[in-house]
Chain A
């Protein structure tokens, strides 16, 4: 028996076709779907795939960003630029009461901050606009507990994730029916890996924020993690002085909670080379999952987090 070699592009083609199929099903089957856009690389790929799925028409649903007000400034600039370029119907969801109460990543624990500024803001945003399906960029390779996540992941009233109610997924056929109060989270990138995402960004020349590429940035080292001091709100501890280091980010989130990595990869080729060599899962750089490891991710999901 001969063994043929499968080019990476062929794998990407199949993953792309699957994601497009999921998008079309979502747009047709739900009354009011939304694309959850978090500005990072996965969201950039999602946006690109949405363009492909409905071409030559434009993306037939709005895009929502959960803005904690603590994102990197570059992320917000990038978001607004892309929204203008693609003529997106951009909605921004914020937990205004938590913001006015002065909730920050420093005032509250990471878990409580995330619950208020991301999970609650997301739930409120979905409820305010009456979205019945929300497309997100979660992947099964991100983290152990994601391996059992569905492509069409059902949420009970109150956005609760009930493991017992998850629907079996056969063939390409999805049960997109909703009982009163139910909604759906949809993950077109379920079967992609982090490397697939980067290879696809490179192949398709998809714009991503510059934060993924290394350059000298002002950072402080805290508990072994490099944190970028992105604005004056960052409370420096005694003896802490930001220093310029060649760093980049593997994932993007709230800047005080996102660890930078020292790297010289300032272009796509170097970045993918570095990526292919890395054997750690990408969430190892995110402080948000830090309290309690992978099982805390499951806990957040039950509360309605992605």
Chain B
């Protein structure tokens, strides 16, 4: 059995991100670096000797290094780029380099953010003939934002500027000035020519004035830049629980990876989610003793995947984070200021419920506010209401329940999260927590003695929320009106939240864009929840065209307390009725966001009830009243 060495002490794997475009000669540089460190199989090298792109001046038989990192057939056919290619390289000192190589064409910010999210070191390419450009600033900003601590600036194409020292000095000076305003710990500049191989792995004979390392040399000399906490030995312990291991003999262990700090047997810990304390009883791995028994560890360091058992029974579920005590602990919060990279093709919608995933934790969350957009070239903060694909901005995020998230600067794994669209399941954003805004401990939920059950007894009937969705002109308000008259005559306390009516007051600040519609639905759902709690049967008549918004509304309620009712009327009939003249306006081009015309109506896939909006009104009302009374 091998001796286990501390990963934290050695950093056996260096995560490298490469920034630059084809024009900068990036593929040639990466290709040469891979080839000259023996990291490319011979058959791939053969391919790069035989194959030639149109217009290539490299003689057949010599390696076209740019072909070693060539794209996929599918990318060429469809004119798309898949965000990141992952390659490996071995350094002469035994360290492994995992290269995240992001293609430098479109979708720039998004691709670079992905590649940089795990990066320790970035190679940033600057074309010596063109100097520092907007994209140089863009690369620096994104690397700094994603937490890359070391930047190696490769000033490439030195052969095109006659290997002039002054050109190099000017560029490296300008990059250092630009990096100084960002949170980057280390900047190394190297003059290179990827095409002719100067200063890549071999010192350049053309630049005797250069005394620094080659690119490979700089990678070899790299040591992780310790955070302040790491330098003081006070890195907080973070252990997100992935899986509960249950085995014979009442074994119950919490499996996960140490993503920050370290832990030893006998240490005090806290379950950050519940605040419950415990003591680490065992640190279990699979590795066997010579006597055949499972061998425990005394200590687990950053990067190790282990299973922890505790000295007492505490409630721990997948997604919870185990932390150290006192200064190392982490309080839950439900509002966060976040730097967000928007990845989705559809823009951010305020008030829409997304799934927030951080490690093994997932919780519904909404973006409640966009404070500003960041201009990645100038660093300026621009006013913005929404974020679109490739935008980076500072936003406010509210989670449905309090969760312990770190700030990103403390730990990437527990301070970074994804937002996932709840219908398509696509990843739409990556968030980096800047700081928690409201520790949930400050906003307690007060329990009152007169509760819903007490009010229900006084009312003499159950309270429900009945959500009528359908096209404008489908008959939602008409049906609601008739149903409420009938219920009222039966002694049932009712209220109708009508889409048009709430827009006169509560929601008069909202328009009809998808993000405003999401917020409209959220507010109406929250009001309906309060009224139901007061004991009232609430009928909501609201177009609410989007599945994800309706689902978010439904999730505020216990099963059975919320009925989704689809008023199904063909668009042609709704247009013919056009009680408010809206379809006519839309046809004239005056209402671009009209549901069914400029915006899609997403038909409910599993409604609790479907009412024919073009049939007999009495039949529809009877059906609805029966459903409400549970008959």
Q: Tell me the A residues contacting B by CB distance below 8 Å.
A: 1, 3-18, 20-21, 24-25, 27-29, 51-58, 140-141, 144-145, 147-148, 163-175, 177-179, 182, 190-191, 193, 203, 279-281, 284, 293, 295, 298-299, 302
Q: Which residues of B contact A163 (CB under 8 A)?
A: 72, 74-75, 78, 80, 82
Whether A148 pairs with B286 at a CB distance below 8 angstroms is: no
Q: Tell whether, in the assembled complex, residue B87 and residue A148 are in contact, meaning their CB atoms are under 8 Å apart.
A: no
Contact assessment for A175 and B87 in the assembled complex, using a CB-CB cutoff below 8 Å: no
Checking B7, B243, B248 against A10 with a beta-carbon cut-off of 8 angstroms, the contacting residue is B7
Task: Find the A residue at minimum CB distance from B220.
Answer: A3
Q: Is B600 an interface residue (CB 8 A)?
A: no
B358 at interface, CB cutoff 8 A: yes
* Chain B positions 557-571 with a Cβ under 8 Å from a chain A Cβ: none
Q: Which of B39-98 contact A (CB under 8 A)?
A: 41-44, 47, 69-75, 78, 80, 82-88, 93-96, 98
Min distance, Cβ B305 to any Cβ of chain A, angstroms: 4
Taking the complex as formed, is B489 at the interface, i.e. its CB lies under 8 A from any CB of chain A?
A: no
Q: A25-B243, A170-B418 are in contact. List 17 more A-B contacts (CB 8 A).
A: A5-B94, A7-B12, A9-B3, A21-B256, A24-B242, A55-B307, A58-B247, A163-B78, A164-B78, A166-B82, A168-B84, A171-B416, A179-B425, A191-B98, A203-B2, A279-B38, A293-B47
7 contacts between A and B (CB under 8 A): A3-B221, A10-B12, A12-B2, A24-B242, A53-B286, A147-B86, A148-B72
Q: How far is the CB of B3 from chain A (nearest CB, A)?
A: 7
Cross-chain contact A168 with B247 (CB below 8 angstroms): no
Point out the residues of chain B lying under 8 angstroms from A295, CB to CB.
73
Name which residue of chain B comes closest to A177, CB basis. B425
| Chain B residues in 8 Å Cβ range of A284 | 41, 43
B88 touches A148 (CB 8 A): no
In this complex, the interface size class of chain B, counting residues with CB under 8 Å from chain A, is 35 or more
CA of A172 to CA of B426 in the docked complex: distance in angstroms?
17
Does B246 lie at the interface of the complex (its beta carbon under 8 Å from any beta carbon of A)? yes
User: Which A residues touch B245, using CB under 8 A?
Assistant: 54-57
B residues in contact with A169, CB < 8 Å: 84, 114
**Which residues of B does A touch, CB under 8 Å?**
2-5, 7, 10-13, 38, 41-44, 47, 69-75, 78, 80, 82-88, 93-96, 98, 110, 113-114, 117-118, 220-221, 223, 242-243, 245-248, 251, 253, 255-257, 259, 284-287, 294, 303-305, 307, 318, 343, 355, 357-360, 412-413, 416-418, 420, 423-427, 430
B70 touching A1, Cβ below 8 Å: no
B5 and A173 contacting across the interface, CB-CB below 8 Å: no
- In the bound complex, CA of A106 to CA of B99 (Å): 41
Contact of B305 among A17, A29, A178, A280 (CB under 8 A): A17
Whether the Cβ atoms of A14 and B416 lie closer than 8 Å is no
Q: How far is the CB of B157 from chain A (nearest CB, A)?
A: 25
**A171:B41 contact, CB within 8 angstroms:** no
Write the chain B residue with the least CB distance to A175.
B427
Residues in A with CB closer than 8 Å to B117 are 170-171
**Given A14-B13, A24-B256, A56-B251, is A171 in contact with B412 using a C-beta cutoff of 8 Å?**
yes
Q: How far is the CA of A18 from the CA of B118 in the complex (A)?
A: 13
Partner of B424, one of A27, A52, A179: A179
Contact of A20 among B72, B305, B430 (CB under 8 A): B305
Q: How far is the CA of A281 from the CA of B357 in the complex (A)?
A: 37
Q: Are B93 and A3 in contact (CB under 8 A)?
A: yes
A154 nearest in chain B by CB position: B425
Residues in A whose Cβ lies below 8 Å from that of B12: 6-7, 10-11, 13-14
Please tell me if the beta carbons of B86 and A171 are within 8 angstroms of each other in the complex.
no
* Contact present for B360 and A25 (CB under 8 Å): yes
A173 and B86 form a contact (CB under 8 A) = no
Distance from A174 Cβ to chain B, minimum over Cβ atoms (Å): 8
In order of increasing CB-CB distance, the 4 nearest A-B pairs are A55-B286, A281-B41, A10-B12, A52-B286
In the complex, chain B residues whose CB is within 8 Å of the CB of A3: 93, 220-221
How long is the Cα–Cα vector from A136 to B283 in the complex, in angstroms? 28
- The one of B83, B305, B418 that contacts A21, using a Cβ cutoff of 8 Å: B305
Measured CB to CB, the closest approach of chain A to B284, in angstroms, equals 7
Q: Which chain A residues lie closer than 8 Å to B98 at the CB level?
A: 191
Contact status A52-B7, CB under 8 Å: no
Q: Report chain B residues within 8 Å CB of A182.
A: 425
Contact B257 A17 (CB under 8 A): yes
Complexed CA–CA distance, A293 and B72 (Å): 12
Given known A-B contacts A57-B246, A203-B2, A173 and B357 have beta carbons under 8 A apart? yes
The answer to whether B416 touches A9, judged by C-beta atoms less than 8 angstroms apart, is no
Complex interface: chain A residues within 8 A of B425 (CB): 175, 177-179, 182
Quick check: B7 and A279 within 8 Å, CB to CB? Answer: no
Shortest Cβ distance from A54 into B: residue: B245
Closest chain B residue to A195, Cβ basis: B90
Q: Is the CB of A54 within 8 A of B255?
A: yes
Known: A21-B257, A52-B285, A144-B70. A179 touches B423 (CB 8 A): yes
A173 contact from B223, B285, B358, Cβ within 8 A: B358
